[in-house]
Structure 1
């Protein structure tokens, strides 16, 4: 089992300034999943019950001279502390800048080393900053590479998550949504999310004493869409939502408010767009982040980032 590559300048920027800060907020421990074509950072795809997240990059976005081999079709997966990974990258970047050597490059590779005070070799992800006359090495401890069955389970979970909700609505201002969620956290722990095919997103927290909600209307719709019903304009947001659900034009699920708040930390990755949708049969709440090719409004297919929030039993609140 071997992996080594050099980080590209764009790869360093993406990881350091955008994705690793977001991944650390999603959960301290994540899985790195490397294949012959992609590099992925995953949360909770092997269980755990929290927010599932997948950040996937074409290998050429992050690396050059990418070399990987294993007995599992060239696929390698392991767990790592996202904060330690980020710290090592920042340190390697600082060393690279201080070297004032235009040839200095950051190589990353899997190694086995003997930790101090131990008789058994342990796996590490090593950052080696190489210049003309010197090299500085930093080791990040990782888990033992996952077994073939665990890698197959990850791949099956990834394949299953490719099915998109039939209707997605675009939330234009994630900062505004985060502010709203921060206020709702003082009311209760369970959030009801309803999405209508005509572009309405309704959020509501209810307790035995109070019901508080907010509605975003006439959002951009991808997928299955419908025209707003005539004659419903004078109804309350709750009444409109209930009618849309009865007519089959909307879906509603309950999720943990803490889970939604955690998923909103993904805005640290600086996506250009965010879309929300509810999976068929209300299986989960899906959040898809879209990135544009620099200087255009064209989607960058080499990067994908999405979250899946588990739904709660309606009786849990």
Structure 2
């Protein structure tokens, strides 16, 4: 089982300033799932309770010179403390910047899995024992289920309104309560409803820290859960 890659400047910026702070709001620990083509940060996928979070990246978005091999179809998964990873990336960036300022060209930030700590290591981040083939299959199955798209998605135009639990009602309904508007829409077949924990819903909105370009909300079949999809890197939005 081997993995090593260099973080690109864009990858460092995305992880340090956007995605790791957002993921840290979801929970202390997540699974890092590495495949031949993609890297996933997965929070709580193996539990049926609470918020589940999936952050998916093509390898080129984060890494350069990406190399991975394992007996599990070149897939590697393990649990990692997000705050420790964030601290290591931040520290590595600082040290690489100092090396670059001193005139050295070898100032790229490399990430690799090691069994023994080499003498030139800048930061080490403890991880769990890598998942077995059976555990990896369980995680992959949970990931596939989490990525099922609801039949209907509604785009949210302004995430700041959701942060404050506010919404602008249509002009013809502004004299009606939110409950009445919802009941009328459901009775007409124009809406669906699902009960969620306000605490969990509020926490899920912390993903706005990753600065998405837009967000979509949908309800899974049989009202199983609320699905929130944050979309990034839409051409023409930045």
Question: Normalising by structure 2, what TM-score?
Answer: 0.90
Give the aligned partner of residue 37 of structure 2: 37
**Gap change, CA 1:284 and 1:73, over 3 Å in 2:** same
Question: How many angstroms apart in 2 are the aligned matches of 1:217 and 1:67?
Answer: 51
> 1:46 offset after TM fit, Å?
1.1
The answer to whether the 8 A contact 1:276-1:286 is kept is: yes
Q: Could you tell me how far apart the structure 2 residues matched to 1:240 and 1:17 are?
A: 39
- Encode CA deviations 1:8-31: one digit per residue, 9 max, x unaligned: 111001001100000111100000
Equivalent residue, structure 2, for 1:311 = none
The total of aligned residue pairs comes to 235
- Aligned with 1:113 (options 116, 125, 131): 116
Distance 2:142 2:199 in 1: 23
Match of residue 156, structure 2, among 160, 171, 174:
171
Q: Going by fraction, where is helix more abundant, 1 or 2?
A: 2
Does residue 243 of structure 1 match 2:228?
Answer: no
Q: TM-score, normalised by structure 1?
A: 0.69
Distance 1:216 1:155 in 2: 39
2:234 pairs with 1:284:
no
1:289 match: secondary structure: strand
Unaligned runs of 5+ in 2: none
Q: How does 1:87-126 map to 2 (within 5 A)?
A: 87-99=87-99, 100=101, 101-113=104-116
Deviation of the 1:113 alpha carbon: 2.6
How far did 1:285 drift? 0.4
Q: Which has the larger radius of gyration?
A: 1
Looking at secondary structure, tell me which structure has more strand per residue. 1
CA shift, 1:150, in A, is: 1.3
Structure 1 gap ranges (5+): 115-125, 129-134, 181-213, 219-230, 299-317
Q: Distance in 1 between matches of 2:48 and 2:112?
A: 28
Correspondence for 1:210:
none
RMSD: 2.3
